Amino acid sequence: MSVAEVVDSHVHLLPGRLGAKVRTIFTDVGGYDLAYPADHAAVCEQLAAEGVAVVWTLPYAHRPGVADSLNRASTATAAADLAVQVVAGATVHPGDDAPVTLVRRAVEDDGARVLKLHCSVGRFDPLDPALAPVWDYVEETRLPVVVHAGRSPDGVGSGDDLLPLDETARRHPAARIVIAHCGHDHETDAVAILDRHPNVHADLTPVVNRLVQVPAADAARLADRLLFGTDAPNTEVTAARCRAHVEALGLVPEATSAILGGNARRLVAEVAD
């Protein structure tokens, strides 16, 4: 695969103080030796050196009232002169006033091409009634939605965390849902959801220092709905190692190419103008 084709669909280029605060959770509290610097330009330069050409930057609303500013910051980052192309992501919280209005503004006015819902950090359920109009909107516009399922603010999941997302996919069969981290460490449950719902995708993004584990047979069968991701900058796993992990599955070249970039490019290209 050429360098120009690799897309990292799970990056967090968070703004200012929020980015610094999130960073300290990993470095000072978690004690992790992170693979990337915090500076946006430096992160993008390192990703580019590892063969990444495009990234999705995914903001996430940890509480009501912050989504609009995060969305605007995401758009500004996407417009900056960086070493990789940045696709602007948007976010929303069910506690926001008129959540669908915020998402519509981010997409139609500011050019966002992906939505991120971080249920565990925001402590909400994807089935929250306030999000129903958002799900209707993403069905209409074909906007991909990356969802980090769960209830724990530290992102550590339990066995039933994916159940609400399974039901969301059933209620909204045209929604292009991407299960973040392939539900790690419940990949088997995530794969079962992909098998039940053709509208559901998953990214193979590691969790700090743990690579996602999907059997090669499952990856081959679902190769048109798996995406490459790193979680940069707050990860111990480099893009090069993530890519090697995908390539080690031993899939046919077309499947590997789809996972490393083709699927992400298609999802963005198909968002309605």
- Which domains are assigned to the chain? 3-262 (3.20.20.140)
Q: How far apart are CA 105 and CA 111, in angstroms?
A: 9
- Token match 């603010």: residue? 153
pLDDT at 5: 83
Put the strands of the sheet holding 7-11 in their side by side order. 7-11, 54-57, 85-91, 114-118, 145-148, 177-179, 200-203, 226-227
Specify the pLDDT at position 160: 86
What pLDDT is attached to residue 3?
45
Residues in the chain: 273
β-partners of residue 145 are 115, 177
Phi-psi category of residue 250: left, alpha or beta, with phi > 0 → left and psi -120 to 50 → alpha: left
Q: Mean pLDDT of residues grouped by 10 in the chain (273 residues)?
A: 77 94 91 95 98 98 97 98 98 98 98 97 96 99 96 62 96 98 94 98 96 98 99 98 98 98 98 90
